[in-house]
Amino acid sequence: MTLTQQLHSPYKKPLAQKWEPIFVNSNNPVGIKATETGRINERWMEYQGVKNWEGLLDPLDDNLRREIIRYGNFVEAAYRAFDFDPDSPSYATCKHPKSSLLDRAGFAETGYRVTKNLRATSGIQLPRWIKKNTPKNNWVGTPSSWVGYVAVCNDKEEISRLGRRDIVVALRGTATCLEWLENLRATQTKLSNSGSVLDPDGTEAMVESGFLSLYTSASKTNPSLQYLVREEIQRLLQRYGDEPLSITITGHSLGAALATLMAYDIKTTFNRAPLVTVISFGGPRVGNRSFRHGLEKQGTKVLRIVNQDDLITKLPGFVMDNNDDDGEEGNGYVQMVKLSGWIQKRVEEAQWAYADVGHELRLSSRDSPYLDGSNVATCHDLKTYLHLVNGFVSSTCPFRATAREIIKKKKLNNNEGSPLHQQIRDFYTNIWWRRSLEEHGTNYTDSKSMSTINV
């Protein structure tokens, strides 16, 4: 089993089996197609980030929770549809036709229709001796691979629930050898389409070289990912441009980085592009301060779901001044590197100075009683991220399964009217949570002391 297969294969531990179906099974309340309780039509722009998710992240709004998990499941579908077997003749391609991709990946009745397959091509040129002695379609010698898809909401009920027609781009994480090698190209390259967007100090927008290579590289037989996306977005805008419309780009790991680049490119290319939102899971850093400044100036909204125990989210490079005046608020959890002036200058000259973009929902594997926070692979897994989103309450009560322990330890000074006690009580009596527990056959017994809640 390759490292990629290990990272994205189902867990084998009994504990994990208790919670895994909750967020990757489309037949439950947090599947791709939400229930009537998740109607967001009147506030859909807020949930897409037009107000920077103000008041929705801490505590985590239930509708936003559903939407994050729903978009995460689109990425899970991309993983399931990808052929990871290097011995397969169809390695690095999509195993299913567009017409049945979501259904066969385990997510039926989504209300979305896949309209375009997407491929990414590496710009790395392998030495001739490797090419000569390596089969064309194996893990080492595959330059181009299926990376995800574009889907459009075409279900009237779902469009009504969402308040608009939604275009989704879903992107998987690293799978092939050349994609791993591109990840290691951590120095930065100038964006050719950045136009006149500069940081206030005059620095040009730059992004990680490997990510840009995978986005813009093409071969004789495969157009670039950039070309494929622009072509499909242009077609969809021409067809649906007169309707309320949104573009949501979601990805995990490498897919999260490509999603951020893609959003920047779409807003730069199409003057009348609708609201573009990125929902990223476990994404690495993408570019410098100027790149972040460009995203903010063009109105692209980015919500980064970050597991603080996930090493990938701390790479590449260094974040040295994330709280500068031109940055967006809401990144209070970012850990910055404090360096002396001359070291900082050397880091910037070496093109290792990065900036986190958008807004952050910070979670932790250590808050879940079901996870091992020290397991590197588990901390980065998409299933872990969806589990943590499903369980997160707020910064004062990080995980709902531990609410009972929080009450027991703190005892709240026998004060049931305290803010923490009220917050936990309100969360657990939420209608959606009751339905989720009941539909999964979980015991729920409410009392004034809440001491008999079983999760």
Please give the positions annotated as active site: 253, 310, 380
* DSSP H or E stretch at residue 239: helix 225-240
Q: Is the dihedral of CA 279, 283, 286, 289 positive or negative?
A: positive
3-state secondary structure of 426: helix
Residue 341 has a CB neighbour count (10 Å cut-off) of: 7
- Pick from 390, 118, 375: which is nearest to 262 by CA? 118
Provide the Cα torsion 207, 211, 217, 223; round to 10°. Answer: -120
> What is the bridge-based pairing of β-strands 206-208 and 165-171?
unpaired
The token pair at 15 is 């504990």
| Alpha carbons 166 and 244: distance in angstroms, whole number | 9
- For residue 62, give the 3-state DSSP assignment: helix
Question: Is residue 55 a contact partner of residue 253, using CB atoms and an 8 Å limit?
Answer: no
Cα torsion through 189, 264, 113, 213, rounded to 10: -10
Q: CA-to-CA distance for 159 and 397, rounded, in angstroms?
A: 34
User: Measured between alpha carbons, how far is 271 from 449 in angstroms, rounded to an integer?
Assistant: 56
Dihedral over alpha carbons 253, 254, 258, 261 (to 10 degrees): 80
Q: Please spell the DSSP secondary structure of 106-123, one letter per residue.
A: T----SEEEEEEEEEE--
* DSSP code of residue 207: E
- C-alpha span between 277 and 248 (Å, rounded): 5
